Amino acid sequence: MLKVVDSHTEGEPTRVVLEGGPDLGSGPLSERAQRLATEHTDFYRSLVVEPYGQEAMVGALLVEPTDPSCVTGVIYFDAAAVIGMCGHGTIGLAATLAHLGKIGVGRHRIETPVGVVEVTLTDCNTVTVQNIESYRFKQGVELEVEGVGKVIGDIAYGGNWFFIVDDSPVPVLPSNLRTLTEVGIKVREHLYAQAIEGEHGGVIDHIIFYGPALNAHGHSRNFVLCPDNAYDRSPCGTGSSARLACLAADQRLAPGEDIYQESTIGSGYTLSYQPGHSGRVIPSITGQAFVTREANILSHPSDPLRHGVSL
Ligand code: PYC
């Protein structure tokens, strides 16, 4: 039996696995994440897809940290991949740990496979994540995508790899969700077909399109395609980190300056950065999460759909 706590961060769901996960051994979290990805695919997938999970859900498996100054270690995954870091998931995790009485208002460190991040809990729902150092790898990469046309974007890292298109080929509006998703998938397939990668062969499995904000205080609105082809209901913490690195590199945003990033559904994050090493940035992402469910997941050996619906 698995003990989980579900939450949503600005509309994007997170499922924290407290107990009952597979034994991933000890050692660096990056190695344990690799073990989860290769040896326990059915386990992690089943938690975030129907009938046991839900669309867009990201899982957060709690593990023992190697760094004793951290309140926990965590490995994030969606239905298609184990991912390096997750911004909305970390906000959801902090709200979950507060709900369980494991952390209080103040600053706490959390270990992920890509490094230690810091969370500041302002109240039981409001969390600021100070993410790992983020950077732009390539600027103005021009693609000719079949059925879409010319698409120009930056390749940037914020804990995951992103292709960031400032000038969305499709208006970023909820009414265009289906088209945004289809075009995002085509862009990602084009990157794969052309072997266009992040640094050291990093797989670019997230695509972001930007358009004008719909609210007066918004900086811009984004659409984020995740590895499992679901779109992020929040503005994506790691994607926003990667974008901050691009804005900083282009001198379009000063250190310490706040912007409000709208998501596709109209929720949002307050974002800013401080300079990091070698032109990188240290992003801050502030948003709210609400715990929605405490549950025991029962997996029935006789249930043919216990590993999830797979079409
Ligand atoms: O918030 O970083 C994020 C994220 C990644 C995938 C879904 N959300």
Average pLDDT over residues 120-124: 98
- Provide the pLDDT confidence category of residue 236 given band limits of 50, 70 and 90: very high
Q: If you measure from the C-alpha of residue 203 to the centroid of ligand 1, how many angstroms do you get, rounded to a whole number?
A: 15
Return d(Cα 94, Cα 138) in angstroms, integer.
33
- Condensed to tens digits (0 to 9), the pLDDT of residues 180-196 reads 999 999 999 999 999 99
- The residue whose C-alpha atom lies closest to atom 5 belonging to ligand 1 is 86
52-75 burial, b for 16+ CB within 10 Å, e for fewer?
Answer: bbeebbbbbbbbebeeeebbbbbb
pLDDT score of 152 more than 90: yes
> Would you state the pLDDT for residue 311?
81
Q: DSSP character for 251?
A: T
Q: Is 233 in the pocket of ligand 1 (CB under 6 A)?
A: no
pLDDT of residue 128 exceeding 90, the answer is yes
Q: What is the pLDDT of residues 9-46, one digit of tens each?
A: 999 999 999 999 999 999 999 999 999 999 999 999 99
Residues 6+ apart with CB under 8 A from 74: 60, 61, 62, 63, 89, 90, 93, 110, 111, 112
Q: Of the residues 9, 85, 236, which should be mutated to test ligand 1's pocket, given the most ligand atoms within 8 Å of the CB?
A: 236
With a 6 A CB cut-off, is 88 part of the ligand 1 pocket?
yes
Q: Is the pLDDT of residue 275 over 90?
A: yes
86 lines ligand 1 (CB under 6 A): yes
**What is the residue-wise DSSP string for 126-161?**
EEEEEPPPBEEEEEEEEEEETTTEEEEEEEEESSSE
**Is 86 annotated in the active site?**
yes
> What pTM, to 2 d.p., does this model score?
0.98
- Rounded CA-CA distance 241/162 in Å is 10
Query: What confidence tens digit (pLDDT) does each residue in 97-110 have?
Result: 999 999 999 999 99
Domains defined along the chain, listed by start: 2-131+291-297 (3.10.310.10), 135-279 (3.10.310.10)
Could you tell me if 214 and 171 are in contact, meaning their C-beta atoms sit under 8 angstroms apart?
Answer: no
124 has catalytic annotation? no
Ligand 1 lined by 111 (C-beta under 6 Å)? no
- 159 φ/ψ angles, rounded to the nearest 5 degrees: 110, -20
Q: Report whether pLDDT(271) > 90.
A: yes
- State the pLDDT at residue 204: 98
